[in-house]
Amino acid sequence: MTVAPPVIEKLREIVGEQRVLTDEVSFQQYGVDRTTIWQPAPGVVVLPETTEQVQALVQLANAEKLALVPSGGRTGLSGGAVALNGEIVVALDRMNKVVDFNAVDRSVTVQAGMITQQLQEFAEQQGLFYPVDFASAGSSQIGGNIATNAGGIKVIRYGMTRDWVLGLKVVDGNGNILELNHGLVKNNTGLDFRHLFIGSEGVLGIITEATIGLAKPPKELCVLVLGVVDFPSIIEVLKTFNDGMELTAFEFFTHNGMVRVVDHSQVPVPFESEAPFYALLEFEQTSEAELERAMELFETCVMEGWVEDGVISQSLSQAENLWKLREDMSETLSRWKPYKNDISVNISRMPEFLAKVETLAAEQYPDFEVVWYGHIGDGNLHLNILKPDELSIEQFTERCSGVSKQIAALVGEFRGSVSAEHGVGLLKKDYLGYSRSPEELLLMQQVKKAFDPNGIMNPGKVVDAA
Ligand code: MLT
Ligand code: ZN
């Protein structure tokens, strides 16, 4: 579907001649996230530079009844930033500046297109720390992180993106500019719309600026990788370390995933012996006593028979290499176009849940290779089903979505989440009912209607217009 020439002309008037892209290469680049299921087909791509330009775009879209797809770093894994039907893709790439920094409030206001890593570096230059971190930090944008409430590898200690958003400037689907919460720590003045926009995946409006809280930097970080004998033992190790010390991360991955990362990223194996599972733990080495404590806990885990081997980082570069074993997993596996389940349950129910998912996966995917990894310390499991080369992406997706329904039903029984941190987008929409009640889904539609009465904001994603 093409966008009519008079509309293209109006778009040029709003953002400038050079910032309206209509070529196929740009469509392929800006019209899709990291999912591989959909073929992008936007009508046009625009690159605004200010909130006022975004507002003018939303007003135009309302007047012309055209759909908008907000586009950040497009590192999403659920199709939230996919444009399939001639939409106007609003790419925030040029809105990447620091607007304000306040050392007393320990906060920074940035435009939504700022790359996560740039925000982390900015914080570091101020002697502070932005703790939300994940493998795609080098290309994801802060607006997209907020729109998906991104989690990542430090949630166990620092929480999700939501916990760091002190204020937002957004253009809602009505075309209003809303300034939400003004960076305040305390503000009990009724409904907090900021939190509605966090995790809303662009269906209510477009985030253009964010005020982000910053933390004090951690002390030297120490990384431990342990070879664990089975799933239940991972949970025992988690409980032992969580009870015994303050962790900044607790991740896990399986041997078949690690072997691929070692090959892809050319990193050394952590130790010679092979284990079915590996747990990666990180803690702040505040004192010598902390290190001794970690060693004691490690010995307990070995004595209990949960852990067979382990290694502790002796240098920054060794710590970085150990982290790669986990962080490079997603990129490494992308070659197999994996079907991704991103599920969570309460940590206390993890052992029982894991046993059931493991059985289900073994029964349903006897012929597929399954790589497990995730943020087990947060109750979040990533189940990656690798596509066999001989299957087409359509055949593979059909097969996996069937099994995903059963996994989602199990998640529902455990009152868990069918999308722990990747968002809903297009991919998880059909499974929402396993985590959210019909009453909640209706309310979601009504909320969407209030912010986006014409249904122009990222249509088809998360929830349909009422
Ligand atoms: C991760 O934990 O590595 C990310 O959520 C990405 C992924 O699951 O592939
Ligand atoms: Zn993850």
Residue closest via CA to ligand 1's atom 1 equals 330
How far apart CA 309 and CA 215 sit, in angstroms, is 34
How far apart CA 192 and CA 421 sit, in angstroms, is 21
Q: Which atom of ligand 1 is nearest to the CA of 375?
A: 2
Q: Which atom of ligand 1 is nearest to the CA of 342?
A: 8
How far apart CA 320 and CA 141 sit, in angstroms, is 23
For ligand 2, the distance from its centroid to the CA atom of residue 421, given in whole angstroms, is: 7
Q: Which atom of ligand 1 is nearest to the CA of 326?
A: 3
Average pLDDT over residues 194-202: 98
Question: Residues with Cβ < 8 Å from 283, sequence gap 6 or more?
Answer: 221, 222, 224, 245, 246, 247, 248, 290, 294
How far apart CA 353 and CA 369 sit, in angstroms, is 20
Q: Which atom of ligand 1 is nearest to the CA of 421?
A: 5
How far apart CA 363 and CA 89 sit, in angstroms, is 41
Average pLDDT over residues 192-207: 98
Ligand with minimal distance to 380 CA: 2
Given a contact cutoff of 8 angstroms between Cβ atoms, the answer to whether 25 and 45 are in contact is: no
Residue type, 430: D
Span 54-94, pLDDT tens digits: 999 999 999 999 999 999 999 999 999 999 999 999 999 99
For ligand 1, the distance from its centroid to the CA atom of residue 290, given in whole angstroms, is: 29
- Alpha-carbon separation of residue 272 from 227, 329, 421, 424 (angstroms): 10, 20, 33, 40
Residue closest via CA to ligand 1's atom 2 equals 374
**pTM of this prediction?**
0.97
| Residue 353 CB-half CA count within 13 A | 24
Beta-sheet pairing, 98-102 with 88-91:
unpaired
pLDDT the model gives residue 259: 98
Q: Which of 281, 299, 285 is nearest to 234 (CA)?
A: 281
pLDDT the model gives residue 231: 92
pLDDT the model gives residue 246: 96
Span 111-152, pLDDT tens digits: 999 999 999 999 999 999 999 999 999 999 999 999 999 999
> Which domains can be identified in the chain, with CATH numbers?
5-93 (3.30.43.10), 98-213 (3.30.465.10), 221-330 (3.30.70.2190), 337-421 (3.30.70.2740)
Residue closest via CA to ligand 1's atom 3 equals 330
Is residue 464 predicted with pLDDT exceeding 90?
A: no
Residue closest via CA to ligand 1's atom 6 equals 330
- Alpha-carbon separation of residue 27 from 92, 323, 334, 336 (angstroms): 15, 34, 21, 24
- Please give the structure tokens belonging to residue 69: 């797809």
For ligand 1, the distance from its centroid to the CA atom of residue 39, given in whole angstroms, is: 22
Is residue 1 predicted with pLDDT exceeding 80?
A: no
pLDDT-above-70 percentage for the chain: 100
For ligand 1, the distance from its centroid to the CA atom of residue 21, given in whole angstroms, is: 31
Handedness of CA 121, 123, 128, 134 (dihedral sign): negative
Question: Residues with Cβ < 8 Å from 294, sequence gap 6 or more?
Answer: 222, 224, 241, 245, 281, 283, 312
pLDDT the model gives residue 2: 84
For ligand 2, the distance from its centroid to the CA atom of residue 328, given in whole angstroms, is: 11
For ligand 2, the distance from its centroid to the CA atom of residue 269, given in whole angstroms, is: 22
Residue closest via CA to ligand 1's atom 7 equals 330
pLDDT the model gives residue 466: 75
For ligand 2, the distance from its centroid to the CA atom of residue 188, given in whole angstroms, is: 32
User: What 3-state DSSP class applies to 372?
Assistant: strand
What lines the ligand 1 site, CB under 6 Å? 134-135, 329-330, 340, 382
Span 97-112, pLDDT tens digits: 999 999 999 999 999 9
Span 408-453, pLDDT tens digits: 999 999 999 999 999 999 999 999 999 999 999 999 999 999 999 9
Ligand with minimal distance to 325 CA: 1
Mean pLDDT (the chain) is 97
Span 230-252, pLDDT tens digits: 999 999 999 999 999 999 999 99
Handedness of CA 365, 258, 140, 434 (dihedral sign): positive
Average pLDDT over residues 191-220: 98
Ligand with minimal distance to 280 CA: 1
Q: Which atom of ligand 1 is nearest to the CA of 338?
A: 9
For ligand 1, the distance from its centroid to the CA atom of residue 382, given in whole angstroms, is: 7
